[in-house]
């Protein structure tokens, strides 16, 4: 693989696409007769086939986790700080698989792909999928790639929920699980924020009950509001203070509703960029997957019982300033794992970046990940 | 005054309305040649005219702070827990004045009143007003009511900012100032939440640049989103957990975008009720008044200097679980007052209701207010 960018980059990468013929029974009761997955891989599968690592993405993520698609790309994949030769998820040692989840909008079966049964775009007809559904779909991908057991499944936020669900759903198919800035279930406040985001999208007149593509429009307003709101909750009060304070964009107040403060300008810009790259139906789906996640609910609300049959070694990581998925939520996971007598390490990283910290190259954080990955033994 | 409801109620009350002829120069550079104020009073002005207390309302409040307008009213005024005979703001001792601020939507000059110059509704042409402008308008009301000096000016949240500004703007006209769950300036996060609310309203196609009344519509969608979002930030994570947890409204998930969780149902209901009683242009104005408030900015960013000429005795109150206006913001006020060698008391109330705690009948809180008010000496 060409290494055009710097010595620690995986360089130029190309997404793969596979049409899986497996039937996928979904939590909602519906079945997908087959589905497409788009994924990238970094590093090489070894002869023992025991060095495969699965990266699970969060709400707005996708398969492009590391490297560059083009020499002119301004930015590498979303977790490039962690994936590459010598990095925590070391491509010299591991074969790393990163996919776009079903329901997504970057090529895998989802609202903006064609339903082969009808020949039409799914749109809002694409079923609401859960974290468990994703894990099942990822299991089929593992089979396809001839991976019997993941050396590690890793994710942050909604991705961490998948890493956790893997350990529960397929105890014999996962050796290690890294659960970062996640929760075993959302709080009422989390659900409330998601509901406001959904209402912003759904009540946008350009939403057309999710059939907006048929009308040649996009519910930009609603998706912008959803993204702005999300963005605030991913940052900490402190990091926003440091980044923007009360700085005025033009040095004075305007006594109108145009931008006065830098933070307003930043949010509007972020929202606009997001609307251009993301799909509203997918955004809705993803927030529901977050809300619905609650593995303990199948065990009378007992998380310890949910962990009973797991065999993975766990690493749980949280960040001090993350208020969207606060450390107390990681503590809940860790305590239940300890009660269930499982092998678990926990690190709370001092960081002021809020929930977004999980994407940042924070030395202590990268160190914790690196140490954990270093101790995973793989064959030739 | 009739006392139809219970022995601690001020009973039936009637709003007063006054057209003040004073010129009001606004911070934005515009001038109001006169303005209407709607207000209520509870208790009687004594002969010495030294027992008058001003209540300042917050973002969505109004002049109706205590008692009932009709025998059939389901709810009393918004601060009925604090105002009445024997209550912290004791109507047996004090003459309490509560007004709807200009820019409001409950009768005082604002976007939904007639601009006498044009004969048309102000709508979005009503100027953006600041906390300082409000205090100046309240000073004219004091003059009209023949009140030379307030025994106390009191407010929570945006109302607390007015109580603070009174002490700075009119040091000789205020004996005591009670500043509850407020801040000397908003943080970037606060401004960001306000900006999302504004964008939700402004981008609603029914907003029509603020001229929605001319089109016979109301930007319901945007105002709903704004209110839902606001509501989340007024509650604490903890209180939402206690109130709703992850309770499902119908005992099961629907795998759709209708209401699954109780908290979603609650937010939608709150938003709908709000849309029926509040005006979108006023909501915009109020959030800007919050964002712009920064009395230190006229003193090279030095809050201590801003307090230098104040003569009032201060009581500052905050609530442990309030994350919209956290205790640290009250500490900033208290520390600056101490540095400026002013008379200040501070109470942090243990409460899990979040920012909304300032409206709740929390015994410790009412006790602190009562003690402070008891020590205010008034004549006959």
Q: HEC profile for chain B?
A: CCCCCCCCCCCECCCEEEEECCCEECCCCCEECCEEEEEEEECCCCCCCCCEEEEECCCCCCCCCCCECCCCCCCCCCCCCCEECCCCEECCCCEEEEEECCCCCCCCCCCCCEECCCCEECHHHCCCCCHHHHHHHHHHHHHHCCCCCECEEEEECHHHHHHHHHHHHCHHHECEEEEECCCCCCCHHHHHHHHHHHHHHHCCHHHHHHCHHHHCCCCHHHHHHHHHHHHHHHCCHHHHHHHCCCCECCCCCCCCCCCCEHHHHHHHHHHHHHHHHCCHHHHHHHHHHHHHCCHHHHHCCCHHHHHCCCCCEEEEEEECCCCCCCHHHHHHHHHHHHHCCCCEEEEEECCCCHHHHHHCCCHHHHHHHHHHHHCCCCCC
Active site residue B208: no
ipTM above 0.90, yes or no: yes
| Contact flag A255-B225 (C-beta cutoff 8 Å) | no
Is the fold of B16-185+296-374 the same as that of B191-287?
no
Residue A5, pLDDT score: 67
Model confidence, pTM: 0.95
Within 8 A of A246 by CB-CB distance, chain B residues are 185-188, 191, 294
CATH architecture of structural domain A16-185+294-374: 3-Layer(aba) Sandwich (3.40)
- Please state the domain extents for chain A: 16-185+294-374, 191-287
Active site residue A355: yes
Within 8 A of B229 by CB-CB distance, chain A residues are 196, 229
| Contact flag A29-B255 (C-beta cutoff 8 Å) | yes
| Contact flag A253-B294 (C-beta cutoff 8 Å) | no
Per-residue pLDDT of chain B (380 residues; tens, 9 = 90+): 444 566 799 999 999 999 999 999 999 999 999 999 999 999 999 999 999 999 999 999 999 999 999 999 999 999 999 999 999 999 999 999 999 999 999 999 999 999 988 999 999 999 999 999 999 999 999 999 999 999 999 999 999 999 999 999 999 999 999 999 999 999 999 999 999 999 999 999 999 999 999 999 999 999 999 999 999 999 999 999 999 999 999 989 999 999 999 999 999 999 999 999 999 999 999 999 999 999 999 999 999 999 999 999 999 999 999 999 999 999 999 999 999 999 999 999 999 999 999 999 999 999 999 999 999 999 98
- Among the partner-chain residues A221, A241, A260, the one whose CB lies closest to the CB of B291 is A260
| Contact flag B191-A224 (C-beta cutoff 8 Å) | no
| Contact flag B188-A241 (C-beta cutoff 8 Å) | yes
Within 8 A of A261 by CB-CB distance, chain B residues are 188, 191, 195, 291
CATH architecture of structural domain B16-185+296-374: 3-Layer(aba) Sandwich (3.40)
CATH architecture of structural domain B191-287: Orthogonal Bundle (1.10)
Q: In chain A, which residue's Cα lies nearest the Cα of B236? A: A189
């Amino acid at each position: 693989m060409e290494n055009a960018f710097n010595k620690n980059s995986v360089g130029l990468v190309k997404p793969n696409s596979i049409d899986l013929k497996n039937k996928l029974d979904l939590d909602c009761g519906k079945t997908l007769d087959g589905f497409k997955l788009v994924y990238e891989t970094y590093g090489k599968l070894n002869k023992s086939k025991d060095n495969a690592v699965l990266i699970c993405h969060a709400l707005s993520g996708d398969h492009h986790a590391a490297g560059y698609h083009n020499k002119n790309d301004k930015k590498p994949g979303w977790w490039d700080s962690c994936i590459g030769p010598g990095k925590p998820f070391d491509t010299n040692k591991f074969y790393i698989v990163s996919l776009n989840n079903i329901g997504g909008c970057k090529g895998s079966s989802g609202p903006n792909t064609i339903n082969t049964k009808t020949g039409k775009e799914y749109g809002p007809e694409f079923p609401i999928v859960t974290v468990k559904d994703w894990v099942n779909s990822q299991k089929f991908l593992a089979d396809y790639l001839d991976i019997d057991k993941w050396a590690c499944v890793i994710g942050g936020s909604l991705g961490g929920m998948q890493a956790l669900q893997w350990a529960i759903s397929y105890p014999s198919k996962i050796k290690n699980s890294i659960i970062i800035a996640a929760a075993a279930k959302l709080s009422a406040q989390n659900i409330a924020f998601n509901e406001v985001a959904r209402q912003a999208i759904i009540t946008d007149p350009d939403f057309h009950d999710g059939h907006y593509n048929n009308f040649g429009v996009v519910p930009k307003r609603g998706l912008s509001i959803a993204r702005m709101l999300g963005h605030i909750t991913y940052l900490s009060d402190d990091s926003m203070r440091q980044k923007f304070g009360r700085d005025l964009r033009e040095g004075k107040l305007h006594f109108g509703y145009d931008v006065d403060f830098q933070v307003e300008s930043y949010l509007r810009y972020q929202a606009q960029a997001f609307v251009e790259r993301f799909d509203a139906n997918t955004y809705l789906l993803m927030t529901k997957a977050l809300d619905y996640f609650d593995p303990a609910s199948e065990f009378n609300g007992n998380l310890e019982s949910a962990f009973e049959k797991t065999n993975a070694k766990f690493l749980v990581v949280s960040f001090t300033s993350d208020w969207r998925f606060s450390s107390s939520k990681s503590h809940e996971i860790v305590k239940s794992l300890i009660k269930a007598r499982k092998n678990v390490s926990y690190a709370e990283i001092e960081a002021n970046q809020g929930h977004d910290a999980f994407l940042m190259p924070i030395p202590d954080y990268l160190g914790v990940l690196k140490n954990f990955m270093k101790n995973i033994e793989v064959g030739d």
